[in-house]
Amino acid sequence: MELLFLADEQEDMIDKYINRGMMFILDDNGIKAECVVTDEGNGILEIKNIATNPKFQGIGYGKILINFLATKYKNQFFTLQVGTGESSATIGFYVKCGFSRSHIIKNFFTDNYDHLIYEDGIQLVDMIYLHRAL
């Protein structure tokens, strides 16, 4: 739960995907990272939540999870997509993992969350989608 909340701080937003999603845990002498993916139809697999334990960030666990998904699902889906706020930290991570920008949902964070969301001191407003071919 701590890791889920690290990536998505509002529980009722997590409730929208957790029951139809598939969760993966990266266990390397203890849980280091997790992700949740959903089938969005039309050959699209979406990462709804991904987080690495803050003590172990920046040493490759997130990328291992992404590459695990790409290998596991390459014969079942065409595209791996993810939506995130306009945060250079998370977008930088996804770009390093082979994603590029695809589209934007305007005002996603302000329309769907019951409080303002900030990351690195910047308010998140639009949802930025990135994708990677499988």
Ligand X SMILES: CC(C)(COP(=O)(O)OP(=O)(O)OC[C@H]1O[C@@H](n2cnc3c(N)ncnc32)[C@H](O)[C@@H]1OP(=O)(O)O)[C@@H](O)C(=O)NCCC(=O)NCCS
Binding site for ligand X (CB under 6 A): 6-7, 33, 50-52, 57-63, 84, 89-90, 92-93, 96
To the nearest whole angstrom, how small is the minimum distance from the Cβ of residue 110 to ligand X? 17
Cβ nearer to ligand X, comparing 43 with 54: 54
To the nearest whole angstrom, how small is the minimum distance from the Cβ of residue 105 to ligand X? 14
Cβ nearer to ligand X, comparing 4 with 75: 4
To the nearest whole angstrom, how small is the minimum distance from the Cβ of residue 97 to ligand X? 6
To the nearest whole angstrom, how small is the minimum distance from the Cβ of residue 10 to ligand X? 13
Cβ atoms of residues 45 and 68 within 8 Å: no
Torsion angle of the four alpha carbons 78, 89, 38, 25, in this order, in degrees rounded to the nearest 10: 110
To the nearest whole angstrom, how small is the minimum distance from the Cβ of residue 11 to ligand X? 15
Cβ nearer to ligand X, comparing 75 with 121: 121
Secondary structure of the chain as H, E, C letters: CHHHHHHCCCHHHHHHHHCCCEEEEEECCCEEEEEEEEECCCCEEEEEEEEECHHHCCCCHHHHHHHHHHHHHCCCCCEEEEEECCCHHHHHHHHHCCCEEEEEECCHHHHHCCCCCEECCEECCCEEEEEEEC
Cβ nearer to ligand X, comparing 36 with 134: 36
Cβ nearer to ligand X, comparing 38 with 52: 52
